[in-house]
Structure 1
Amino acid sequence: MRAAISAIAEKGAATVRMSDIAERAGMSTGHILYHFGKKDRLLLEVLVWSEGDLGARFQQAADEAASPAEKLDLFVRAYLPRHPGDERYALWTQVLAQRHDDAGRTVLTALSDAWEERLEAVIREGRALGQFADVDLPEFVIRAVAMLNGLSEDVMFGRPRWQHTSAHTFALSALERELRPTGGA
């Protein structure tokens, strides 16, 4: 998986070849094909591995965070691409562009659901502590994720508006405004 991520980072998800990955992994192309069958399946498996790694890193940081507000900040940072061409987002884009059978759609849904569940947990904690407003959680998560997905596309596309301001700051500010408890701090 690390060899695949490295090859994808260098060549891009769309142009990386199985032989590029095999060479980095010190394996034959046949060996890679035996395990994954085709490039589309390999990219899906690499995405699962990458998201598992990112989810674990987010959870570790969230467990060490001092407040729900800090966890929300960490969530937005983990969710948004770091820069145009971010390898993880490029991989998402490539995988989403493929046709998937029911099993592939189930995997992609589970990956997306995991991020929504992380956000829900942060919001629940903030509400329980009185630090976040009592928003309609399912509706809030849909809006938040839709906004973050749109911002992610902008960042990946390299929209000039994000050269002078941060998509992270913009998103966090929008979420915090909606989560600000009424009549208080």
Structure 2
Amino acid sequence: MTVETDESFGGVTPDAARRLLLGAVQAFAERGFHATTTRDIAGRAGMSPAALYIHYKTKEELLFHISRVGHERSVAVLEEAVEGAGDSAGRLAAAVRAFVRWHAEHHTTARVVQYELAALGEEHYARIVVLRRRSEEILREVLQEGVATGQFAVEDIRGTTLAVVSLCIDVARWFSPEGRRTPDEIGELYAGLALRMAGYRDGGR
């Protein structure tokens, strides 16, 4: 079976380790973590089950590496989007566009990253939570800045932050390349929704 490529794992070496990660992404997305066997993963990578243990001690360690890379990339996407994006409204819109686009373009990986967290061990889960909180923090700071400057009218900043994050990551659950909207179109739509959730008012929206 051909393994779907994902640039998020481009820096993983050696090649065999990267192929195993990509095989695991496909298997976890299709079957779920608990229903996936190491044989499933190795087969998708074109390797024997024994070869998997050369690079990863357990199936859970594979899931952790996928989650770590995915969360690090999504944090980087948010940080890059808000940098130099202008005022608070521009920063929020840019962040949401980029965050949504990443979850759509990499929907298979994102689905595993966002919806298989409960299968992680305690130590690995704690490390991923730090990255998830950073994503929330970036958006929360933009909302706080907007409230402080009078651009946004948000009473519950924390709750609105979680609502915006949830809206963005849920794209990975339902997005299909064969669907009616492109990742860019969905990103633009959701940016407008996020601005309205923040209480932003502009004549062009």
Residues 19, 82 of structure 1: alpha-carbon distance in 2 compared, 3 angstrom cutoff: closer
Give the Å deviation of 1:171. Answer: 1.4
Residue 177 (str. 1) matches residue 196 (str. 2): yes
CA distance in 2, matches of 1:82, 1:151: 6
Residue 72 (str. 1) matches residue 97 (str. 2): no
How high is the TM-score relative to the length of structure 2?
0.64
Give the Å deviation of 1:106. Answer: 2.1
- Structure 2 counterpart of 1:82: 104
- Structure 1 counterpart of 2:68: 48
- Name the % identity: 17
The answer for unaligned runs of 5 or more in structure 1 is 23-27
Residue 32 (str. 1) matches residue 55 (str. 2): yes
CA distance in 2, matches of 1:6, 1:17: 9
Contact 1:76 1:172 in 2 (8 A): yes
**Any idea what SS the aligned residue of 2:162 has?**
helix
The answer for unaligned runs of 5 or more in structure 2 is 1-10, 28-39
Q: Deviations over 1:38-83 (max 9, x none)?
A: 1321231232134224423432442222222222123213322233
Output the aligned Cα RMSD.
3.7
Which amino acid in 2 is paired with 1:86? H
Residue 2 (str. 1) matches residue 18 (str. 2): no
Q: Deviations over 1:64-116 (max 9, x none)?
A: 22222222123213322233x535314415743x6233223323433322221
Which amino acid in 1 is paired with 2:42? R
Residue 17 (str. 1) matches residue 42 (str. 2): yes
Runs of 4+ in 1 over 6 A off after TM superposition: none
CA distance in 2, matches of 1:12, 1:116: 24
**Any idea what SS the aligned residue of 1:135 has?**
coil
Residues 176, 13 of structure 1: alpha-carbon distance in 2 compared, 3 angstrom cutoff: same
Number of residue pairs the alignment of both structures matches: 174
CA distance in 2, matches of 1:139, 1:103: 27
CA distance in 2, matches of 1:52, 1:164: 20
- Structure 2 counterpart of 1:117: 137
